[in-house]
Amino acid sequence: MQLVVARIGRAHGIKGEVTVEVRTDEPELRLGPGAVLATDPASVGPLTIETGRVHSGRLLLRFEGVRDRNGAEALRNTLLIAEVDPDEMPENPEEYYDHQLMDLDVVTKDGEEIGRITEISHLPSQDLFVVERSDGSEVYIPFVEEIVVEIDLEEQRAVIDPPPGLIDDRAEVASSRDDEAATEADA
């Protein structure tokens, strides 16, 4: 199975190094010297990592055969793809690969069926589950432990405890209930 592990950014310096936007929790495993990675677009690769280092908090890589700034700049925005055993699990039991989460059924703690995960969106602040509901609409669920309380790969489901208003109009119901309570208290 193939996983996107990074996106090549701009060239760094004049000797062929590039900045890399890491998209894996295991960069030392996936992006080490000697790693051979497929690419998107495929015509650019495969690329073999020659060296890697961290500079000012950014990962810099140099690939075999890329020796100057022009060669490095030609790689910009290329996705780096690693071949991964589909049965492989991350070292941390609280982490998951995207392919493990795709198509999980999403249910609330009370057992209400919400839908099925169709996509995982990786944003700078957090990841989001894109969940398709039975009526074809989509709902976005932040993948944070306060909301996603359990991932059960054996049962193929994600259990959520959504705050009011995340998946339905419960925020309006709570608000109108509070207004009614205030009116009764005033009377």
Per-residue pLDDT averaged across 112-131, rounded?
A: 86
Give percent of the chain with pLDDT exceeding 70: 85
Is the pLDDT at 135 greater than 50, yes or no? Answer: yes
Mean pLDDT taken over the chain: 83
Which has more confidence, 58 or 29? 58
The amino acid at residue 27 is P
β-sheet bridge partners, residue 80 = 6, 39
Dig out the tokens for 146 from the structure: 């306060």
Confidence at 127, pLDDT banded by 50, 70, 90: confident
Exposed e or buried b for every residue in 106-128, given b needs 16+ CB within 10 A?
Answer: bbeeeeeebbbbeebeeeeeebb
Dig out the tokens for 14 from the structure: 């004049």
Which has more confidence, 160 or 92? 160
Decide: helix, strand or coil at residue 137.
Answer: coil
The amino acid at residue 117 is I
pLDDT score for 183:
55
**Threshold 0.75, pTM exceeds:** no
Rounded Cα–Cα distance for residues 107 and 115 (Å): 7
Tens of pLDDT, residue by residue over 159-184, are: 999 988 888 754 444 444 455 555 55
